[in-house]
Amino acid sequence: MLEQIKSTTAFIQSKISFQPEIGIILGTGLGGLVKEINIKHTIPYEEIPNFPVSTVEGHSGKLIFGELGGKSVVAMQGRFHFYEGYDMLQVTFPVRVMKFLGIQKLFVSNAAGGVNVNFDIGDLMIINDHINLFPNALIGKNLAELGPRFPDMSDAYNSGFIAKAKQVAAANNIKVQEGVYAGLTGPTFETPAEYKYMHAIGADAVGMSTVPEVIVARHMGIPCFAMSIITDLGVAGKIVPATHEEVQHVAALAEKKMTLIMKELIKLI
Protein backbone atom coordinates (compact mmCIF):
# COMPACT_ATOMS: atom_id res chain seq x y z
CA MET A 1 0.00 0.00 0.00
CA LEU A 2 2.81 2.42 0.82
CA GLU A 3 4.20 2.21 -2.70
CA GLN A 4 0.73 2.87 -4.15
CA ILE A 5 0.32 5.91 -1.90
CA LYS A 6 3.70 7.26 -2.96
CA SER A 7 3.13 6.65 -6.68
CA THR A 8 -0.31 8.27 -6.57
CA THR A 9 1.10 11.22 -4.65
CA ALA A 10 3.90 11.64 -7.18
CA PHE A 11 1.40 11.62 -10.06
CA ILE A 12 -0.75 14.29 -8.42
CA GLN A 13 2.27 16.42 -7.54
CA SER A 14 3.27 16.37 -11.21
CA LYS A 15 -0.11 17.98 -12.03
CA ILE A 16 -0.27 20.73 -9.39
CA SER A 17 1.83 23.75 -8.49
CA PHE A 18 1.42 24.03 -4.73
CA GLN A 19 1.15 22.01 -1.51
CA PRO A 20 -2.28 21.88 0.13
CA GLU A 21 -2.47 22.39 3.88
CA ILE A 22 -6.12 21.45 4.42
CA GLY A 23 -8.04 18.46 3.07
CA ILE A 24 -11.81 18.57 2.57
CA ILE A 25 -14.16 15.63 1.93
CA LEU A 26 -17.57 16.64 0.60
CA GLY A 27 -20.58 14.38 1.18
CA THR A 28 -23.86 13.69 -0.59
CA GLY A 29 -25.34 16.86 -2.08
CA LEU A 30 -22.66 18.99 -0.44
CA GLY A 31 -20.43 19.75 -3.40
CA GLY A 32 -21.40 23.43 -3.38
CA LEU A 33 -18.45 24.32 -1.18
CA VAL A 34 -16.33 23.93 -4.32
CA LYS A 35 -17.97 27.13 -5.66
CA GLU A 36 -16.21 29.02 -2.87
CA ILE A 37 -12.79 27.65 -3.79
CA ASN A 38 -10.49 29.68 -6.03
CA ILE A 39 -9.71 26.63 -8.17
CA LYS A 40 -6.19 26.14 -9.50
CA HIS A 41 -6.33 22.50 -10.62
CA THR A 42 -8.99 19.82 -11.12
CA ILE A 43 -8.19 16.12 -11.58
CA PRO A 44 -10.99 13.58 -12.27
CA TYR A 45 -10.68 10.47 -10.14
CA GLU A 46 -10.52 8.21 -13.19
CA GLU A 47 -7.24 9.86 -14.20
CA ILE A 48 -5.56 9.25 -10.83
CA PRO A 49 -3.59 5.99 -10.49
CA ASN A 50 -4.90 3.63 -7.77
CA PHE A 51 -7.92 5.83 -7.03
CA PRO A 52 -11.37 4.24 -6.83
CA VAL A 53 -14.19 5.92 -8.78
CA SER A 54 -17.30 7.21 -7.00
CA THR A 55 -20.45 5.41 -8.17
CA VAL A 56 -23.04 7.30 -6.11
CA GLU A 57 -25.36 9.98 -7.49
CA GLY A 58 -24.42 13.34 -5.96
CA HIS A 59 -20.71 12.48 -5.83
CA SER A 60 -19.11 13.94 -8.94
CA GLY A 61 -15.64 12.36 -8.58
CA LYS A 62 -13.03 15.10 -8.80
CA LEU A 63 -10.01 16.20 -6.79
CA ILE A 64 -10.08 20.00 -6.55
CA PHE A 65 -7.02 22.10 -5.68
CA GLY A 66 -7.20 25.79 -4.84
CA GLU A 67 -7.56 28.44 -2.16
CA LEU A 68 -10.34 28.77 0.41
CA GLY A 69 -10.40 31.12 3.37
CA GLY A 70 -6.84 32.16 2.61
CA LYS A 71 -5.55 28.57 2.81
CA SER A 72 -4.35 26.10 0.20
CA VAL A 73 -6.83 23.21 0.06
CA VAL A 74 -7.49 19.93 -1.68
CA ALA A 75 -11.16 18.93 -1.81
CA MET A 76 -12.65 15.58 -2.68
CA GLN A 77 -15.83 16.33 -4.63
CA GLY A 78 -17.30 12.90 -4.05
CA ARG A 79 -16.14 10.19 -1.65
CA PHE A 80 -16.03 6.40 -1.60
CA HIS A 81 -18.21 4.16 0.54
CA PHE A 82 -17.87 0.65 1.92
CA TYR A 83 -21.31 -0.22 0.53
CA GLU A 84 -20.10 0.41 -3.04
CA GLY A 85 -18.05 -2.75 -2.70
CA TYR A 86 -14.73 -1.10 -1.96
CA ASP A 87 -12.68 -2.41 0.94
CA MET A 88 -11.58 -0.12 3.75
CA LEU A 89 -8.12 0.40 2.28
CA GLN A 90 -9.74 1.74 -0.89
CA VAL A 91 -12.32 3.84 0.96
CA THR A 92 -9.62 5.60 2.97
CA PHE A 93 -6.84 5.60 0.37
CA PRO A 94 -7.44 9.26 -0.63
CA VAL A 95 -6.94 10.37 2.98
CA ARG A 96 -3.54 8.66 2.98
CA VAL A 97 -2.65 10.41 -0.27
CA MET A 98 -3.78 13.81 1.03
CA LYS A 99 -1.49 13.37 4.02
CA PHE A 100 1.44 12.63 1.71
CA LEU A 101 0.50 15.70 -0.34
CA GLY A 102 1.02 17.74 2.82
CA ILE A 103 -2.34 18.36 4.48
CA GLN A 104 -2.22 19.20 8.17
CA LYS A 105 -5.97 19.27 8.89
CA LEU A 106 -9.02 17.40 7.56
CA PHE A 107 -12.56 18.75 7.18
CA VAL A 108 -15.38 16.29 6.48
CA SER A 109 -19.07 16.70 5.68
CA ASN A 110 -21.94 14.27 5.29
CA ALA A 111 -25.69 13.86 5.12
CA ALA A 112 -27.07 11.96 8.11
CA GLY A 113 -30.25 10.70 9.71
CA GLY A 114 -31.10 12.27 13.05
CA VAL A 115 -32.01 10.04 16.00
CA ASN A 116 -32.00 12.77 18.64
CA VAL A 117 -35.54 13.85 19.53
CA ASN A 118 -34.43 17.49 19.61
CA PHE A 119 -33.24 17.47 15.97
CA ASP A 120 -35.17 18.71 12.96
CA ILE A 121 -34.69 18.02 9.26
CA GLY A 122 -32.22 20.56 7.89
CA ASP A 123 -30.30 20.99 11.15
CA LEU A 124 -26.52 21.18 11.10
CA MET A 125 -24.74 18.91 13.59
CA ILE A 126 -21.11 19.38 14.56
CA ILE A 127 -19.72 15.92 15.23
CA ASN A 128 -17.95 15.67 18.59
CA ASP A 129 -17.48 11.88 18.66
CA HIS A 130 -18.41 8.76 16.75
CA ILE A 131 -19.45 5.13 17.16
CA ASN A 132 -17.77 2.86 14.62
CA LEU A 133 -20.03 0.09 13.35
CA PHE A 134 -17.91 -0.53 10.23
CA PRO A 135 -15.05 -3.04 10.08
CA ASN A 136 -12.19 -0.94 11.46
CA ALA A 137 -10.23 0.74 8.68
CA LEU A 138 -6.92 -0.12 10.39
CA ILE A 139 -7.41 -3.90 10.47
CA GLY A 140 -4.42 -5.62 8.87
CA LYS A 141 -0.67 -5.11 8.95
CA ASN A 142 0.31 -1.76 10.43
CA LEU A 143 2.86 0.34 8.57
CA ALA A 144 4.89 2.41 11.01
CA GLU A 145 5.45 5.01 8.29
CA LEU A 146 1.72 5.76 8.39
CA GLY A 147 1.03 5.68 12.11
CA PRO A 148 1.04 3.66 15.36
CA ARG A 149 -0.47 0.19 15.74
CA PHE A 150 -2.90 1.39 18.41
CA PRO A 151 -3.81 5.04 17.74
CA ASP A 152 -5.57 7.04 20.43
CA MET A 153 -9.09 8.16 19.52
CA SER A 154 -9.96 10.26 22.58
CA ASP A 155 -9.90 13.46 20.51
CA ALA A 156 -11.06 12.13 17.13
CA TYR A 157 -12.83 15.43 16.43
CA ASN A 158 -10.62 18.32 17.46
CA SER A 159 -12.12 20.17 20.43
CA GLY A 160 -10.44 23.44 19.42
CA PHE A 161 -11.97 23.31 15.95
CA ILE A 162 -15.39 22.54 17.46
CA ALA A 163 -15.20 25.56 19.77
CA LYS A 164 -14.25 27.88 16.91
CA ALA A 165 -16.98 26.47 14.65
CA LYS A 166 -19.59 27.18 17.32
CA GLN A 167 -18.28 30.74 17.58
CA VAL A 168 -18.59 31.16 13.81
CA ALA A 169 -22.14 29.79 13.88
CA ALA A 170 -23.16 32.11 16.71
CA ALA A 171 -21.61 35.14 15.00
CA ASN A 172 -23.65 34.38 11.87
CA ASN A 173 -26.89 33.46 13.66
CA ILE A 174 -26.74 29.87 12.42
CA LYS A 175 -28.34 27.24 14.62
CA VAL A 176 -26.06 24.24 15.14
CA GLN A 177 -26.51 21.00 17.03
CA GLU A 178 -23.62 18.98 18.43
CA GLY A 179 -23.49 15.24 18.86
CA VAL A 180 -22.29 11.72 18.20
CA TYR A 181 -22.30 10.19 14.71
CA ALA A 182 -22.75 6.44 14.28
CA GLY A 183 -21.17 5.03 11.14
CA LEU A 184 -23.00 2.09 9.55
CA THR A 185 -22.26 0.16 6.39
CA GLY A 186 -25.52 0.84 4.50
CA PRO A 187 -26.71 0.90 1.79
CA THR A 188 -30.15 0.45 3.36
CA PHE A 189 -31.60 3.25 5.42
CA GLU A 190 -32.21 2.09 8.98
CA THR A 191 -35.31 0.33 10.27
CA PRO A 192 -37.27 1.96 13.13
CA ALA A 193 -35.78 -0.61 15.52
CA GLU A 194 -32.27 0.19 14.29
CA TYR A 195 -32.86 3.92 14.75
CA LYS A 196 -34.05 3.22 18.29
CA TYR A 197 -30.97 1.09 18.94
CA MET A 198 -28.62 3.78 17.60
CA HIS A 199 -30.11 6.33 19.96
CA ALA A 200 -29.98 3.89 22.88
CA ILE A 201 -26.23 3.32 22.44
CA GLY A 202 -25.50 7.04 22.40
CA ALA A 203 -25.79 8.23 18.80
CA ASP A 204 -27.42 11.50 17.77
CA ALA A 205 -27.13 10.87 14.03
CA VAL A 206 -26.41 7.94 11.73
CA GLY A 207 -24.72 7.72 8.35
CA MET A 208 -22.69 5.60 5.95
CA SER A 209 -19.37 7.45 5.80
CA THR A 210 -16.93 9.73 7.67
CA VAL A 211 -15.86 7.36 10.46
CA PRO A 212 -13.34 5.31 8.41
CA GLU A 213 -11.83 8.50 6.97
CA VAL A 214 -11.47 10.11 10.38
CA ILE A 215 -9.94 6.96 11.89
CA VAL A 216 -7.30 6.86 9.16
CA ALA A 217 -6.65 10.61 9.47
CA ARG A 218 -6.13 10.31 13.22
CA HIS A 219 -3.88 7.28 12.64
CA MET A 220 -1.63 9.67 10.70
CA GLY A 221 -1.87 12.45 13.27
CA ILE A 222 -4.21 14.71 11.29
CA PRO A 223 -6.68 16.72 13.43
CA CYS A 224 -10.26 16.52 12.13
CA PHE A 225 -13.46 18.56 12.01
CA ALA A 226 -16.74 17.15 10.71
CA MET A 227 -20.33 18.30 10.21
CA SER A 228 -23.55 16.53 9.30
CA ILE A 229 -26.66 17.91 7.66
CA ILE A 230 -29.66 16.14 9.17
CA THR A 231 -31.60 15.11 6.07
CA ASP A 232 -34.12 12.70 7.62
CA LEU A 233 -35.30 11.65 11.06
CA GLY A 234 -35.23 8.29 12.79
CA VAL A 235 -37.31 9.47 15.73
CA ALA A 236 -40.48 7.62 16.76
CA GLY A 237 -43.50 9.39 15.30
CA LYS A 238 -41.39 11.33 12.77
CA ILE A 239 -40.10 8.47 10.61
CA VAL A 240 -41.12 8.66 6.95
CA PRO A 241 -39.76 6.64 4.01
CA ALA A 242 -36.34 8.04 3.04
CA THR A 243 -34.95 8.27 -0.48
CA HIS A 244 -31.53 9.26 -1.78
CA GLU A 245 -33.15 12.02 -3.83
CA GLU A 246 -34.79 13.55 -0.77
CA VAL A 247 -31.50 13.37 1.13
CA GLN A 248 -29.80 15.27 -1.70
CA HIS A 249 -32.59 17.86 -1.77
CA VAL A 250 -32.45 18.62 1.96
CA ALA A 251 -28.64 18.70 1.91
CA ALA A 252 -28.69 21.23 -0.92
CA LEU A 253 -31.03 23.51 1.04
CA ALA A 254 -28.79 23.53 4.11
CA GLU A 255 -25.39 23.49 2.45
CA LYS A 256 -25.02 27.30 2.25
CA LYS A 257 -24.98 27.48 6.04
CA MET A 258 -22.52 24.60 6.33
CA THR A 259 -20.33 26.15 3.62
CA LEU A 260 -20.19 29.45 5.50
CA ILE A 261 -19.14 27.74 8.72
CA MET A 262 -16.49 25.65 6.98
CA LYS A 263 -15.08 28.64 5.09
CA GLU A 264 -14.91 30.92 8.13
CA LEU A 265 -13.46 28.18 10.30
CA ILE A 266 -10.70 27.57 7.75
CA LYS A 267 -9.87 31.28 7.92
CA LEU A 268 -9.51 31.09 11.70
CA ILE A 269 -7.26 28.06 12.09
Residue 200's domain is classified under what CATH number?
A: 3.40.50.1580
In this prediction, residue 253 carries a pLDDT of: 73
Count of domains observed in the chain: 1
Which domain does 9 fall in, by range? 2-268
In this prediction, residue 59 carries a pLDDT of: 47
CA 220 centroid distance within chain: 16
Closest residue by Cα to residue 128 from 150, 109, 156: 156
Tell me the average confidence (pLDDT) per consecutive run of 10 residues in the chain, 269 residues long. Answer: 95 94 84 87 94 65 93 93 94 97 96 93 95 97 96 97 97 96 95 94 97 98 96 77 67 83 93
Q: In degrees, to the nearest 5, what angle opens at C-alpha 153 toward C-alphas 152 and 159?
A: 120
**Cα–Cα distance for residue pair 234/188, rounded to 1 Å:** 13
In this prediction, residue 31 carries a pLDDT of: 73
Helix H segments across 82-191? 88-101, 159-171
